[in-house]
Amino acid sequence: MKIKLSDIKPSPRAIRKTWSEEGLEELAQSIKEHGLIVPIKVRPTNGKFELVYGHRRVKAMRRAGLQEAEAFVEAVNDTEVLVQALIENVQREEMFPIDIAKALFAVQEETGWSQKDMARRGIMGESSIQHYMALLTESPQIQKMIVRGADVVGAPKGTVTEHHIRLVRQSGLPQSDREAVIKKAAKEGLTADQTRRVAETVKAAPGEQAKKKVLQWEYSPVLHDPERVKARADQYGAHDTLYRERTPKADKGWRDAPEVKAIIDSIRQVHNSFLPDWQKSTQKMSPEARKFVGRLVRNLATDLKTWSDKLER
């Protein structure tokens, strides 16, 4: 049925707290041109109507100059208002992750449901509920950084996605170290996978000074390589010169650059360990397999020759 916008009031317990101004403007433009495609939902209250879901659409309609809206009307209780609003917003509208987390918490507080109970009622999958609610254990500063975003790309600088947070938590770092990694990711605009590598490298670092250095270095796939850091830790322990503050002589300064050391380490590891192992492995291969590996080695040798020529110019 059609309802006057002037007769609609917002829910005092609206789960959606933030909107993208750009997205709201786009929605208002779309409504102005095509009308409201998906109706809002309201419940009757004191001769008026209270929104169950569709707060963002109502804002956009008012911005577009509309006077009334198509709406579903149902007398639902407070608990159903929370549940329906959460499901509708998560499935249809772009809520910020921290708003989803707070809404899930509000539903849990209202109903006493466990995460499994909420999943059983179709709010979202249990693992998603767990990941979102875990965001509420992060500091307020980190919570403000969390925006929507795809798993495989970096968020805008100064922000991170829920997936960034999830991967850092999976590294097993204590909260203070996790927060430092997340701030680094936000500052440098790292992808979720790059952030995971930083977190794992920090965890592998041998001591506080090494952790500090790993966090200070601008992200590099060579420097932030947890396996290489573990290998160095086994060899040099916490006294690794890679993490020391040094003022080298001018003619030897390049040798002490962390990224130079990292590349030299990697090349030596391939030359002294991987290459002999590869050669031994190919001795037991069939002739066809050896020819195939030979072609790969030749291609690698060509790429290395091209790279070395560029470096030596």
pLDDT in tens, 15-67: 776 777 888 888 899 998 888 888 989 999 888 999 888 888 898 999 999 99
Tell me: pLDDT of 250 over 60. no
Q: DSSP of 125-171, one letter per residue?
A: -HHHHHHHHHGGGS-HHHHHHEE---TTSPPSTT-EEHHHHHHHHHT
The per-residue pLDDT for 93 is 58
Give the list of residues 6+ apart from residue 5 with CB closer than 8 angstroms, or none: 58, 61, 62, 66, 67, 68, 69
Task: Note the maximum CA span of the chain.
Answer: 86
The whole-number pLDDT of residue 92 equals 63
Assign 219 a pLDDT band (cuts: 50, 70, 90).
very high
Amino acid 245 reads: E
Whole-number average pLDDT of the chain: 86
Q: Which residue has the higher pLDDT, 190 or 261?
A: 190
Q: Choose from 23-27, 179-183, 231-235 the range with maximum mean pLDDT.
A: 179-183
- Band the pLDDT of 152: cuts 50, 70, 90: very low
Beta bridge partners of 48: 45
Return the HEC string of 179-224: HHHHHHHHHHCCCHHHHHHHHHHHHHCCCHHHHHHHHHCCCCCCCC
| pLDDT one-digit tens code per residue, 71-95 | 999 998 888 888 888 888 776 656 7
Residue 195: its pLDDT value, please?
A: 95
pLDDT of residue 150: 53
Q: Can you say whether residue 147 is alpha, beta or left, with left for phi > 0 and alpha for psi between -120 and 50 degrees? A: beta
Q: Say how far apart CA 221 and CA 134 lie, in whole Å.
A: 28
| Residue 97 or residue 14, greater confidence | 97
Lowest mean pLDDT among 88-102, 138-152, 248-262, 298-312: 248-262
Please give the average per-residue pLDDT across 125-153, as a whole number: 84
Which parts of the chain fold into alpha helices (H)?
21-34, 55-64, 78-92, 97-111, 115-120, 126-134, 140-145, 162-170, 175-188, 192-204, 208-216, 226-236, 258-269, 275-282, 287-311
Sorted by sequence, the CB contacts under 8 Å of residue 295 that are 6+ apart come out as none
pLDDT score of 248: 45
For the chain, domain boundaries: 2-134, 283-313
pLDDT at 308: 85
Q: What is the pLDDT of residue 149?
A: 62
Please give the angle made by the CA atoms of 71, 73 and 78, to the nearest 5 degrees.
120
Residues 6+ apart with CB under 8 A from 2: 68, 69, 70, 71
Confidence of residue 103 (pLDDT cuts 50, 70, 90): confident
Q: How far apart are CA 61 and CA 36, in angstroms?
A: 8
Q: What is the average pLDDT across 178-190? A: 94
Structure tokens at 73: 């009307």
Whole-number pLDDT of residue 245? 62
pLDDT of residue 252: 54
162 or 241: whose pLDDT is higher? 162
Cα–Cα distance measured from residue 106 to residue 109, given in angstroms and rounded to the nearest whole number: 5
Nearest to 105 by CA among 84, 86, 91: 86
Q: 151 pLDDT exceeds 50?
A: no
**Lowest mean pLDDT segment, chosen from 4-8, 89-93, 266-270:** 89-93
How high is the pLDDT of residue 178?
94
CA 75 vs CA 72, 82, 92, 229: distances in Å: 10, 13, 22, 61
What CATH number should be reported for the domain whose range is 2-134?
3.90.1530.30
Distances from the Cα of 100 to the Cα of 130, 179, 187, angstroms: 11, 21, 24
Paired strand residues for 64:
none
Q: If you average pLDDT over residues 266-292, what whole number do you get?
A: 87
